[in-house]
Amino acid sequence: MNSPTQIQLIQPDDWHLHIRDGEVMKDVLADTARQFARAIIMPNLKPPVTTVELAKAYQSRIKSNLKLLGISSFIPLMTLYLTDNTSADEVRKAKAEGIIGFKLYPAGATTNSDAGVSDIKRCHQALEAMQAVGMPLLVHGEVTSADIDIFDREVVFIDTVLESLRKDFPELKIVFEHITTKQAAQYVRDASTGGKNTIAATITPQHLLMNRNAIFAGGIRPHNYCLPVLKREEHRVALLEAATSGSARFFLGTDSAPHAKGAKEAACGCAGCYSAFNALGLYAEAFESVAKLDRLEGFASFFGPDFYSLPRNGKTITLVKQAQSIPAQLPLGDATIVPLRAGETIAWSLI
Ligand code: NCD
Ligand code: ZN
């Protein structure tokens, strides 16, 4: 069979996105809203979005920016940042106010995670309330202790945190965010849930398209550095297999994480890849590489809303196999940002 040159999909959503705050938000929102109907907005602002009140204020700033952009159809889905002090009351309030999930950042794991959870045991009451009201927990699945090799942090998290978390809270809905290893893919694929929808994982375009060599190709490549860090080729292959398997436990979450060019190209460059500019083109390229474009719609448009018990979108979008040049940089407030694949081409474009 010839591979298609055009595909139509129910409009996708992005189930893991960073849009920051202030001046820069407008620029990154425009890229996402061009492609996606909804996105889960991550709460790792400075200071973090830890209460319903803060989330509502953030949501209204997002809405003002959408208005400025003349976009009326995009829906930001809000999350709260779990801390050692999150109360069961705040969880119940969040549920009542339409917050879509709580994000667990182990303290120190990634960008703006200093206020994160120091020990998951401290969150027992909040987790109990989340389980009781059906509030998903979105996890950054890496341990943080300095003696664990950075390439092993996700696998150690599975063994030392995730497994017991799932035992203690068997009904808690958990999304293992931006998985990067074959062990994580296998864990999610094989987890027994008693037929319930209690575990899923998001996968980013960079982890489907690149292995860790991309961080060091001919010199250090800060724009390919994100957390969890890219892994070996065998892991990329396993993630691609999971994403294209048709399993409803794997769905799209770009983890597009904008940092200004100067903050990436620095002595201590920030973690995060900016994939929002043409994320769908990147995913299409990944799926096409294993001749599984027919599985893209499930991954991008169906399994996310199904997991979160939200309706699937009604509108459709069309991707064409038409190479798109990616600019060397894009505006980001007063600064610039270097998108993933800057200065290169992506095989697929959105009409
Ligand atoms: C994210 C960011 O910059 O906010 N960075 C990243 O490398 N993915 C945080 C995160 O999701 O870990
Ligand atoms: Zn993220």
Give the pLDDT band of residue 170 (cuts 50, 70, 90): very high
Q: Residue 148 — pLDDT band, cuts 50, 70, 90?
A: very high
| Amino acid 113: pLDDT | 81
Say if residues 272 and 258 touch (Cβ distance below 8 Å).
yes
pTM for this prediction: 0.97
Does the CB atom of residue 202 touch ligand 1 within 6 A? no
> In 3-state terms, what secondary structure has residue 39?
strand
**Can you list the domains of the chain with their CATH numbers?**
13-315 (3.20.20.140)
Question: With bands split at pLDDT 50, 70 and 90, how would you rate the model's confidence at 2?
Answer: low
Nearest to 241 by CA among 278, 291, 282, 197: 291
Q: Cβ(38) to ligand 1 under 6 A?
A: no
Query: Residue 257's pLDDT is what?
Result: 98
Catalytic option among 147, 168, 255, 334: 255
Look-up: residue for tokens 């999930």?
A: 101
Cα 116 versus chain centre, distance:
17
Flag whether pLDDT at 1 surpasses 60: no
Average pLDDT rounded to a whole number, residues 244-259: 98
Residue 126 — pLDDT band, cuts 50, 70, 90? very high
pLDDT value for 129 = 98
Q: Are 87 and 125 in contact (CB under 8 A)?
A: yes
Position 343: which residue type? G
Q: What percent of the chain has pLDDT over 90?
A: 96
How many angstroms is it from 328 CA to the middle of ligand 1?
21
Question: If you measure from the C-alpha of residue 111 to the centroid of ligand 1, how many angstroms do you get, rounded to a whole number?
Answer: 5
Q: Which residues pair with 101 in a beta bridge?
A: 79
What's the confidence (pLDDT) of residue 115? 87
Indicate if 255 belongs to the active site.
yes
Helices of type H across the chain: 25-35, 52-69, 88-96, 124-133, 153-157, 163-168, 182-190, 205-209, 233-243, 261-264, 279-289, 296-297, 303-307
Q: Residue 286: how many CB atoms within 10 A of its CB?
A: 25
110 pLDDT exceeds 90? no
Q: With a cut of 90, say whether residue 108 has pLDDT above it.
A: no
Longest dimension (CA), the chain: 56
Q: Per-residue confidence at 4, pLDDT binned at 50, 70, 90?
A: confident
State the pLDDT at residue 3.
78
**pLDDT (tens digit per residue) in 279-305:** 999 999 999 999 999 999 999 999 999
Tell me which DSSP letter residue 256 carries. Answer: B
CA-227 nearest atom, ligand 1: 7
Distance from Cα 349 to the centre of ligand 1, integer Å: 25
| Average pLDDT over all residues of the chain | 97
Burial of 16 (0-12, 13-18, 19+ CB in 10 A): buried
- In short, whether 264's Cβ falls inside 6 Å of ligand 1 is no
Q: Does the pLDDT at position 232 exceed 90?
A: yes
pLDDT average, residue stretch 58-83 = 97
Q: Whose CA is nearest to atom 9 of ligand 1?
A: 111
Cβ–Cβ < 8 Å for 282, 209: yes
